[in-house]
């Protein structure tokens, strides 16, 4: 199969230079590429519909006889139109083709065919425009549909694939060794390739899919594992001693067992020797990730190195800066803030002290990775909320030191199987426990009719000294026109329902200093009700806030709702979340139901994956992963199977350099090198 990637597509009959260029547009250059260009769907002709049962707009397959020979006509403008009537024992239907001068020679009167297409009409008679067809009794009833491009339709591609299949040798060398195929009940490669394009029946299609999907995920899996082993050289940061006990004395609370365990795992990485730490810490909202990061940075700093903590938003960087400054107040650790919104002179001063080593702990945003920022001896880079940073940004921060340690913090609980793939190049620690006395946030889905009751509830909480958030309707960061609506919404609340309460507003288009001031007032309880856009989604920590109200809750994904809800329930008080929506769409209702029934971020992430697919989990990070030809990251079953296969291979063959794995290794290289990685060499 590998050699077929060397045979150009224009070797196939009917593919000249022009058509080859169209194939190139789809990323197909060689016969091998074409055979790996799997159908995006199938037309299933195995269940036909009688003409009397047709309904307008249906995509169906009918089995019918052509009554009389197709007749060609010419439309005004010169287009050819060809028409013919077909019948079954329940009715008749008209076929219409445009600009297909050969059609009358392809279908013959009196013969029976399958016709597949969309039917329109009804009383005036049924019509099917440009159906696909094949004579009854010939070939498979499952037909491939390929992604097409202008000038290159699915049928042309299918014909090219048919030819390409004849290039497959008698015996195709299979990247999956026989031992793997038999253990995991997978068909061989040749069978899989034939049947993914032109399945004999639905069983053979399922078997081909299973084989190709799991192989692709396996290749990805093995590649990520190799990346982990090979990606980073020796660290220039020599950490010899843990200062965790000393750190615990600085904390105003006792760490949970999970927090202590995770800090232990990190410090053991740091002190292990020459390999830099490469670790992801995952924890549900409010599980106390900040303290874990602080503990790890503290040990690095006490060993004489600098630490950098990169947050995704200005608000968060400032909040963390405040937390760390307070935490290290009694020590000689000098902490600084570096964000793009600071005055030039302030930034310059911070940069100078980072370069001469006076500052040992810096918290910031993207300003940390600009060229102007240099470190004296960066020992650890921490990135908060990894899914918002690209892999390249992480690499940029790391390049500021001599192979420093890396700690990635993620509040988005990614389903385990998916996490293993996405973060396959990182070791993973999970904080699977919430601080004591944390109670689940009681969550209610309500319609707008109940909005006033919700406002009443908020007033009552505020009267008891608590605070509340309302996440505005229709507002998403980056949509300028909606800022006005957020402001209007807040103004209306101030004038009417909350006229005697101090209301603040925060959105992504405010100047950082203004945002900062509002957040500070909210943190100090000078503002009781904060009307906000999703800028508060990640990380904002005001333990006195007990009510979160989310307008237009249907607009948010489950994980995002969970993050937003996580802004309450962070202190000792009972907390509540109201999800306002009038949307009765079954998927929305299912999503809101999940939110009301659990506070467990991992369960919610699993549901989200099922309902919306994996898009949300990747964010920018998706760019760092190879493009999949057939696998779908939402397919947890296949992810799990490929994980087991990778374990099996490593267990039985030790590493990928075994001769039986030569072809598999080549696949890993191909997948990763086409995406800018080079993991094996
Ligand atoms: N072991 C603990 N005992 C009591 N309180 C704790 C403990 N650990 C953290 N906290 C407090 O819990 C709150 C949440 O902690 P933190 O902000 O670190 O959570 P997080 O995991 O970063 O959450 P999020 O992902 O929502 O930002 C903070 O106010 C913090 O001071």
**Which of the 8 DSSP states describes residue 387?**
G
- Residue 259 CA: which ligand 1 atom is closest? 1
| Segment 649-666 mean pLDDT | 87
Q: Ligand 1 centre and the CA of 641: distance in Å?
A: 35
Q: Ligand 1 centre and the CA of 259: distance in Å?
A: 10
540: CB partners within 8 A, 6+ apart:
315, 316, 319, 519, 567
What is the C-alpha to C-alpha distance for residues 66 and 88, in angstroms, rounded to an integer? 9
As a whole number of Å, the CA-based R_g of the chain is: 31
User: What is the percentage of the chain residues whose pLDDT exceeds 90?
Assistant: 46
Classify residue 569 as exposed, middle or buried by CB count within 10 Å of its CB (0-12, 13-18, 19+). Answer: buried
| Cα–Cα separations (whole angstroms), residue 207 to 192, 200, 637 | 7, 11, 14
Q: Ligand 1 centre and the CA of 293: distance in Å?
A: 11
Select from 504, 656, 638 the least CA-distant residue to 210: 638
What is the C-alpha to C-alpha distance for residues 626 and 673, in angstroms, rounded to an integer? 9
| Cα–Cα separations (whole angstroms), residue 107 to 128, 149, 489, 572 | 15, 26, 64, 77
What is the C-alpha to C-alpha distance for residues 193 and 211, in angstroms, rounded to an integer? 10
Residue 482 has pLDDT above 80, yes or no: no
Q: Backbone phi, then psi, for 357, in 5-degree steps?
A: 90, 5
pLDDT band at 633 (very low <50, low <70, confident <90, very high): confident
Q: Are 84 and 95 in contact (CB under 8 A)?
A: yes
Q: Are 237 and 380 in contact (CB under 8 A)?
A: yes
Q: Are 643 and 422 in contact (CB under 8 A)?
A: no
Q: What is the CATH number of domain 244-431?
A: 3.40.50.300
Range with the lowest mean pLDDT among 8-17, 129-138, 387-396, 584-593? 387-396
What is the C-alpha to C-alpha distance for residues 435 and 253, in angstroms, rounded to an integer? 10
Q: What is the CATH number of domain 442-598?
A: 3.40.50.300
pLDDT digits (tens, 9 = 90+) for 85-107: 999 999 999 999 988 878 888 89
Q: Are 606 and 635 in contact (CB under 8 A)?
A: no
Q: Which residue has the higher pLDDT, 405 or 44?
A: 405
Range with the lowest mean pLDDT among 304-313, 341-350, 449-458, 483-492? 483-492
Q: Which two tokens stand for residue 589?
A: 């209702």
547 strand-pairing partners = 468, 576
| Segment 542-546 mean pLDDT | 92
Residue 678 has pLDDT above 70, yes or no: no
Residue 174 has pLDDT above 80, yes or no: yes
Question: Whose alpha carbon is nearest atom 22 of ligand 1?
Answer: 289
Q: Is the dihedral of CA 519, 520, 525, 526 positive or negative?
A: negative
- Residue 437 CA: which ligand 1 atom is closest? 4
Select from 647, 673, 621 the least CA-distant residue to 217: 647
What is the C-alpha to C-alpha distance for residues 100 and 97, in angstroms, rounded to an integer? 6
Q: Which CATH superfamily is domain 47-140 in?
A: Nucleic acid-binding proteins (2.40.50.140)
User: Which residue out of 435, 519, 559 has the highest number of ligand 1 atoms within 8 Å of its CB and is therefore the one to mutate?
Assistant: 435
ipTM greater than cut 0.95: yes
pLDDT band at 538 (very low <50, low <70, confident <90, very high): low
- Residue 411 CA: which ligand 1 atom is closest? 25
Is the entire prediction scored with pTM above 0.80? Answer: no
Q: Ligand 1 centre and the CA of 238: distance in Å?
A: 29
pLDDT digits (tens, 9 = 90+) for 373-408: 999 999 999 987 655 555 566 777 888 888 899 998
Ligand 1 site residues, Cβ closer than 6 angstroms: 253, 255-256, 259, 283, 285-291, 411, 435, 539, 541, 543, 566, 570
- Residue 570 CA: which ligand 1 atom is closest? 13
Residue 357 has pLDDT above 90, yes or no: yes
Residue 50 has pLDDT above 70, yes or no: yes
72 strand-pairing partners = 82
**Residue range(s) occupied by CATH 3.40.50.300 in the chain:** 244-431, 442-598
Q: Ligand 1 centre and the CA of 242: distance in Å?
A: 22
Q: Are 492 and 550 in contact (CB under 8 A)?
A: no
What is the C-alpha to C-alpha distance for residues 646 and 534, in angstroms, rounded to an integer? 39
Residue 343 has pLDDT above 70, yes or no: yes
What is the C-alpha to C-alpha distance for residues 472 and 453, in angstroms, rounded to an integer? 17
Question: Whose alpha carbon is nearest atom 26 of ligand 1?
Answer: 285
pLDDT digits (tens, 9 = 90+) for 240-262: 999 999 999 999 999 999 999 99
pLDDT band at 232 (very low <50, low <70, confident <90, very high): low
Mean of per-residue pLDDT scores for the chain: 86
What is the CA angle 27-29-35, rounded to 5?
Answer: 85
Q: Which two tokens stand for residue 110?
A: 């009196």
Strands (DSSP E) along 295-420, which ranges? Answer: 306-310, 335-338, 361-364, 378-384, 405-410
Q: Does residue 93 sit in helix, strand or coil?
A: strand
What is the C-alpha to C-alpha distance for residues 524 and 488, in angstroms, rounded to an integer? 25
- Residue 256 CA: which ligand 1 atom is closest? 1
Q: Ligand 1 centre and the CA of 200: distance in Å?
A: 57
Question: Whose alpha carbon is nearest atom 10 of ligand 1?
Answer: 288
pLDDT band at 675 (very low <50, low <70, confident <90, very high): very low
| Segment 420-429 mean pLDDT | 75
Residue 609 has pLDDT above 80, yes or no: no
Tell me how many helices (H) and strands (E) the chain has: 23, 22
What is the C-alpha to C-alpha distance for residues 366 and 195, in angstroms, rounded to an integer? 49
For the chain, the distance separating the N- and C-terminal CA atoms, rounded to the nearest angstrom, is: 22
User: Which residue out of 251, 280, 289, 290 has the highest number of ligand 1 atoms within 8 Å of its CB and is therefore the one to mutate?
Assistant: 290
Q: Ligand 1 centre and the CA of 600: distance in Å?
A: 16
């Amino acid at each position: 199969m590998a050699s077929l990637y060397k045979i150009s597509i224009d070797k196939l009959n009917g593919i000249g230079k022009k058509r080859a260029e169209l194939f190139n547009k789809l990323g197909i250059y060689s016969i091998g590429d074409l055979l790996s260009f799997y159908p995006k769907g199938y037309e299933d002709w195995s269940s036909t519909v009688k003409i009397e049962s047709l309904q307008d707009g249906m995509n169906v397959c009918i089995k019918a006889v052509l009554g009389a020979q197709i007749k060609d006509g010419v439309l005004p403008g010169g287009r050819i139109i060809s028409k013919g009537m077909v019948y079954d024992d329940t009715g008749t239907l008209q076929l219409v083709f445009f600009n297909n001068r050969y059609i009358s020679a392809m279908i013959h009167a009196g013969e029976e065919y399958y016709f597949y297409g969309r039917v329109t009409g009804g009383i005036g008679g049924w019509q099917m425009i440009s159906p696909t067809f094949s004579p009854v009794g010939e070939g498979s009833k499952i037909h491939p549909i390929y992604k097409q491009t202008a000038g290159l339709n699915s049928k042309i591609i299918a014909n090219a694939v048919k030819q390409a299949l004849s290039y497959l040798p008698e015996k195709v060398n299979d990247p999956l060794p026989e031992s793997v195929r038999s253990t995991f009940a997978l068909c061989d490669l040749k069978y899989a390739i034939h049947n993914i394009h032109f399945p004999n029946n639905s069983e053979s299609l399922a078997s081909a899919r299973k084989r190709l999907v799991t192989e692709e995920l396996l290749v990805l899996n093995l590649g990520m594992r190799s990346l982990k082993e090979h990606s980073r050289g020796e660290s220039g940061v020599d950490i010899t001693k843990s200062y965790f006990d000393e750190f615990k004395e600085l904390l105003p609370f006792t760490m949970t067992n999970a927090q202590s365990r995770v800090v232990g795992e990190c410090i053991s990485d740091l002190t292990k020797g020459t390999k830099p730490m490469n670790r992801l810490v995952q924890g549900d909202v409010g599980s106390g990730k900040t303290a874990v990061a602080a503990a790890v940075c503290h040990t690095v700093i006490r060993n004489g190195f600098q630490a950098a903590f990169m947050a995704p938003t200005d608000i968060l960087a400032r909040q963390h800066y405040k937390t760390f400054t307070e935490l290290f107040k009694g020590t000689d650790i000098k902490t600084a803030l570096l964000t793009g919104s600071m005055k030039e002179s302030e930034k310059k001063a911070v940069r100078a002290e980072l370069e001469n080593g006076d500052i040992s702990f810096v918290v910031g945003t993207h300003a940390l990775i600009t060229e102007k920022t240099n470190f004296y001896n960066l020992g650890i880079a921490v990135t908060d909320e990894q899914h918002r940073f690209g892999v390249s940004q992480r690499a940029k921060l790391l390049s500021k030191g001599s192979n420093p340690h890396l700690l990635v913090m993620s509040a988005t609980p990614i389903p385990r199987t998916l996490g293993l793939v996405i973060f396959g190049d990182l070791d993973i620690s999970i904080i699977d426990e919430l601080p004591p006395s944390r109670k689940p946030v009681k969550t209610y889905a309500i319609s707008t009719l109940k909005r006033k009751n919700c406002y009443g509830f908020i007033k009552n909480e505020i009267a008891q000294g608590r605070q509340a958030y309302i996440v505005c309707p229709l507002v998403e960061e980056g949509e300028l026109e909606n800022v006005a609506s957020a402001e209007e919404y807040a103004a209306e609340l101030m004038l009417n329902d909350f006229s005697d309460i101090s209301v603040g507003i925060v959105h992504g288009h405010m100047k950082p200093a203004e945002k900062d001031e509002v957040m500070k007032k909210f943190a100090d309880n000078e503002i009781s009700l904060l009307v906000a856009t999703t800028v508060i989604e990640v990380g904002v920590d005001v333990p006195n806030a007990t009510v979160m109200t989310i307008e237009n809750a249907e607009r948010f994904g489950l994980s995002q709702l969970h993050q937003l809800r996580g802004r309450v329930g962070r202190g000792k008080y009972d907390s509540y979340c109201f999800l306002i929506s009038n949307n009765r769409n079954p998927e929305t209702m299912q999503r809101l139901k999940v939110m009301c029934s659990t506070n467990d971020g991992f369960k919610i992430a699993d549901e989200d994956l099922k309902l919306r697919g994996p898009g949300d989990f990747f964010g920018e990070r998706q760019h760092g992963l190879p493009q999949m030809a057939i696998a779908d990251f939402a397919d947890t079953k296949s992810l799990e199977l490929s994980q087991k296969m990778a374990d099996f291979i490593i267990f039985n063959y030790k590493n990928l350099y075994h001769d039986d794995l030569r072809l598999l290794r080549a696949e890993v290289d191909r997948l990763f090198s086409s995406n800018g990685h080079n993991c094996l060499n």
